[in-house]
Structure 1
Amino acid sequence: MGDDTHGWTAAPGAAARARSVLAAAWSCAVTTEGTREEFAGAHTVTDDGRVLLEVPEDSALLTTAICAPRGEPSAVLEFADVAPVPVRDRIRARLWLAGWFSAGGGRLAFQPTRVVLRQPSGAVLVDPGEFATAAPDPLATAEARLLTHLADCHADAVERLTRLVDTGSLHGAVRVQPLAVDRHGLTLRIERVRAGGDVRLPFHAPADDLAELTERMHVLLSQAAAASCTRAPQRRRADGDG
């Protein structure tokens, strides 16, 4: 995809964000009437957002799914979006899917009829139709590896990127870590002794693969270098006024 930015926004919509959480999640919790089970590495997702779950033959969930009235909401699936880089408050979002299971082919297929996405900004009810047709962010499944590499091997680049952050937002900062990345931008977590905040650095155009992401990051770093040059004279003038 080129740099045509028609229809581009600086952040993913709720439906796309929900599908990204689902695409990247490794585990899920399933709650039915009277039972709650945790599953790790047991689910896959279809193109239309249905969840296919492999469960043991002795699982209470299997019995519940077979006996539940067809088409009626009978279960809630919960997915947590955990920041791959160690920070305070690592849960970036939670996704709840309410719906019903059907059994077949040795696994359970879950059809969501209600979708709720909770982020730090609050909870959003996502239209099931929009959820079904939305695509996850193209970087969602690679995000954990990308952010971990950035934090572990390029701490100097993270420091340079803080030059794009308003100096007031950096007041009292004790650590800055990469918190999230998607096709629209990079989010930094600014940690202070007792509190913290997040700052988003939008890309000039969406990145749909790793090559485009590399180019977008280089642009941000170039912008950071330019910002550093403009800040330095201001600091010198401020020092001279003293």
Structure 2
Amino acid sequence: MPSAAERTRTLVQSTCSAVLLITGLEGARPDQLMPAGRSVGPDGEVYLDFPADSPAVRAATHAQDDELAAVLEITDVAPVSVPNRIRGRAWISGWLTRAPGLAEPGRMMLRLEVGEASVDDLWGASAVEAEDFAHAAADPLVAHEAELLQHLHAAHGDQVQELCGLLGEREHGSHRSAERAVPLALDRFGLRVRFDGELCFDARFDFPEPVRDITGLRRAMHTLFQAASH
């Protein structure tokens, strides 16, 4: 199971939508507070790319030497259509300053020094210490997860459906009631599938060992599909 810090770091480095919440900017439009890009620095600080004239940059400029508290809220939405499509959220709170010289002309990079973080996702809800966040690594599949799930759903839907054969009888009913199987989430440890029908439930299919790249993922998925077909 990925740690809470790893899951939070993965969401920060994913393509999920994010909004920067700053006290005093409640009147700004949500799209004005959405960074165009984000990355994590070597010490765990989060860098956010904004237009130089954005409300967030103005607030950081006016704050100057004062500590400007801010919260980066990330919302993770499944890249395939499923019931209850929001997979999770993460919150990164800390202090915001400008980082001149790191962005293209007309833009400004803001630096969010992480004070604390939390995540509430398919694994559960957990608090994350700033030090743990700094030392964690994002899941190696994060850059490809959306594309991989869409491919699995479009090109391997029948094989994903067959995975229900690995479940046996469930405590709350038979897996045979599942009319639709949709790949919901993918990480180095395994695949999560949402089965929808008379009952709606998620099932987790762990890989024999954690994968490190796409090549390892192909082997793991082949093994999984092969087991389900027998």
Q: TM-score range by the shorter chain?
A: 0.7 to 0.9
Structure 1: segments with no counterpart, 5+ residues:
1-10, 227-242
**What percentage of residue pairs aligned between the two structures are identical?**
36
* 1:186 equivalenced with 2:191 (yes/no): yes
Give 5+ residue unaligned stretches, structure 2. Answer: 101-107
Which is richer in strand? 2
**Of 41, 51, 60, the match for 1:56:** 51
Taking structure 1 as reference, are residues 202 and 173 closer, same or farther at Cα in structure 2, changes over 3 Å only? same
Which of 29, 32, 47 is the matching residue for 2:19? 29
Structure 1 position 78 matched with structure 2 position 73: yes
Residues 2-41 of structure 1: pairs in structure 2 closer than 5 A? 11-36=1-26, 37=30, 38-39=33-34, 41=36
Q: Deviations 1:1-55 (Å, cap 9, x if unpaired)?
A: xxxxxxxxxx211111111111113431111112154315332333443222222
Q: TM-score, normalised by structure 2?
A: 0.85
Q: What is the letter of the counterpart of residue 115 of structure 1?
A: A
SS in 2 for 1:35: coil
Matched, 1:98 2:93: yes
Distance 2:162 2:94 in 1: 46
1:144 to 143, 146, 155: 146
Shift of 1:71: 7.2
SS of alignment partner, residue 226 of structure 2: helix
Matches within 5 A, 1:64-213: 64-68=59-63, 70=65, 72=67, 74-105=69-100, 106-120=108-122, 122-168=124-170, 170-193=175-198, 196-213=200-217
1:224, 1:144 → 2: CA distance?
23
SS of corresponding position for 2:211: coil
Ranges of 4+ aligned residues in structure 1 off by more than 6 Å: none
Q: Which has the higher helix share?
A: 1
Are the structure 2 counterparts of residues 183 and 171 from structure 1 closer, same or farther at C-alpha, using a change threshold of 3 Å?
same
Q: Is the 8 A contact 2:16 2:76 kept in 1?
A: no
Larger Rg: 1
Closer/same/farther in 2, CA of residues 122 and 210 from structure 1, 3 Å limit: closer
Residue-pair matches, total: 215
